[in-house]
């Protein structure tokens, strides 16, 4: 199978194509992603993950895989759209010095040796001010800063068109994909909404996005992050984000200056 290593046994090597796809969603110019890219560079495929063929567990020879533990959060995600379907590439955060890499064809079990690539996109290259990587449409941005610290540290991004939610962490420039249901639960608790027709329908986060203030989304992230840590915050988060509309603009200027 072209989308998998030649042998899924211990010590198997990635194909050149798999390695290129992994390097693509772990851009070396971003310190956070590059750290994991270097980790994977010293690893081999040591077996198949719980999700079956296509999920390769990377580690060091002699390591044993434990498929009983919960799946780690997604570290990086991208998709390659082709003339036969879409190839998705998912890399999860390390667990016990092992990393899950899943490369699958969303239409069938096989990835052809040859195909025509129409386009590719990944969340790993997104920066505040950019459009959604997948659909190219504007996203809702909520800047998050620490109390008594005027410099923005993180930006919460929401794409209503694709139903995606992620957090840009400025210190390492990693975009953390956030599970919608867990986040929405915290949002409903913050708003004290108990009607099950609303509280259990996480799609309303996107269909009614305009009804939630920046402060609502910020507070929901704070409580979500406290339970399911995505980023380690350096202090208490400032409330009242919606009262500072120029905050995202400030971050964009800082990022633009740093890129020069």
Instruction: Give the strands of the sheet with 44-48, arranged side by side.
Output: 44-48, 55-59, 99-105, 86-92, 74-82, 117-122
Q: With pLDDT > 90 as the criterion, what percentage of the chain qualifies?
A: 63
User: In this structure, are 102 and 149 located in the same domain?
Assistant: no
In a domain, 247, yes or no: yes
User: In this structure, are 131 and 48 located in the same domain?
Assistant: no
Confidence band for 120, pLDDT divided at 50, 70 and 90: very high
Closest CA to 66 of 41, 98, 112: 98
**What pLDDT is stored for residue 11 in this prediction?**
60
User: In this structure, are 90 and 171 located in the same domain?
Assistant: no
CB 254 within 8 A of CB 152: yes
Domain hosting residue 240, numbered range = 126-251
Q: How far apart are CA 216 and CA 62, in angstroms?
A: 48
In a domain, 214, yes or no: yes
SS3 for 78?
A: strand
**What pLDDT is stored for residue 220 in this prediction?**
94
Q: What is the DSSP letter of 95?
A: B
User: In this structure, are 155 and 245 located in the same domain?
Assistant: yes
User: In this structure, are 74 and 191 located in the same domain?
Assistant: no
Summarize pLDDT for 167-226 with one digit per residue, the tens: 999 888 999 999 999 999 999 999 999 999 999 999 999 999 999 999 999 999 999 988
Q: Provide the domain count of the chain.
A: 2
The pTM score is 0.82
User: In this structure, are 137 and 239 located in the same domain?
Assistant: yes
8 pLDDT exceeds 50?
no
User: In this structure, are 119 and 161 located in the same domain?
Assistant: no
User: In this structure, are 109 and 148 located in the same domain?
Assistant: no
CB 124 within 8 A of CB 33: yes
H helices present in the chain, as ranges: 16-25, 31-41, 180-191, 196-199, 204-207, 214-227, 247-259
In a domain, 245, yes or no: yes
Q: With pLDDT > 70 as the criterion, what percentage of the chain qualifies?
A: 82
Cβ neighbours of 7 (radius 10 Å)? 10
User: In this structure, are 154 and 95 located in the same domain?
Assistant: no
In a domain, 259, yes or no: no
Q: How far apart are CA 22 and CA 99, in angstroms?
A: 12
User: In this structure, are 73 and 155 located in the same domain?
Assistant: no
CA gyration radius for the chain?
A: 19
Among positive and negative, which fits the CA dihedral 27, 176, 165, 212? negative
In a domain, 42, yes or no: yes
User: In this structure, are 132 and 105 located in the same domain?
Assistant: no
**What pLDDT is stored for residue 250 in this prediction?**
42
| Of 91, 124, 157, the domain-final residue | 124
In a domain, 46, yes or no: yes
49 pLDDT exceeds 50?
yes
| Of 106, 124, 142, the domain-final residue | 124
Q: How far apart are CA 118 and CA 104, in angstroms?
A: 17
| Of 99, 124, 149, the domain-final residue | 124
In a domain, 256, yes or no: no
**What pLDDT is stored for residue 153 in this prediction?**
76
User: In this structure, are 173 and 156 located in the same domain?
Assistant: yes
CB 13 within 8 A of CB 44: yes
In a domain, 9, yes or no: no
Summarize pLDDT for 99-118 with one digit per residue, the tens: 999 999 988 778 888 899 99
Q: How far apart are CA 241 and CA 165, in angstroms?
A: 18
């Amino acid at each position: 199978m072209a989308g998998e290593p030649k042998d899924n046994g211990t010590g198997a090597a990635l194909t050149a194509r798999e390695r290129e796809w992994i390097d693509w969603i772990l851009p070396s110019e971003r310190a956070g992603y590059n750290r994991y890219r270097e980790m994977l560079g010293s690893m081999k495929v040591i077996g198949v993950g719980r999700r079956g063929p296509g999920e390769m567990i990377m580690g060091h020879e002699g390591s044993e895989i434990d498929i009983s533990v919960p799946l780690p959060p997604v570290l990086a995600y991208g998709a390659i759209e082709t003339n036969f379907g879409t190839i998705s590439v998912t890399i999860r955060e390390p667990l016990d010095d092992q990393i899950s890499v899943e490369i699958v064809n969303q239409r069938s079990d096989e990835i052809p040796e040859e195909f025509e690539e129409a386009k590719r996109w990944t969340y790993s290259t997104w920066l505040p001010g950019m459009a959604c990587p997948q659909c190219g449409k504007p996203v809702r941005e909520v800047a998050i800063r620490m109390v008594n610290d005027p410099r923005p540290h993180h930006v919460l991004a929401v794409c209503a068109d694709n139903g995606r939610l992620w957090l840009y962490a400025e210190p390492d420039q990693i975009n953390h994909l956030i599970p919608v249901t867990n986040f929405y639960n915290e949002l409903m608790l913050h708003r004290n909404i108990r009607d099950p027709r609303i509280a259990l329908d996480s799609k309303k986060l996107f269909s009614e996005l305009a009804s939630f203030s920046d402060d609502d989304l910020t507070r929901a992230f704070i409580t979500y992050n406290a339970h399911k840590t995505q980023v380690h915050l350096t202090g208490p988060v400032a409330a009242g984000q919606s009262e500072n509309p120029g905050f995202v603009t400030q971050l964009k200027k800082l990022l633009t200056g740093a890129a020069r």
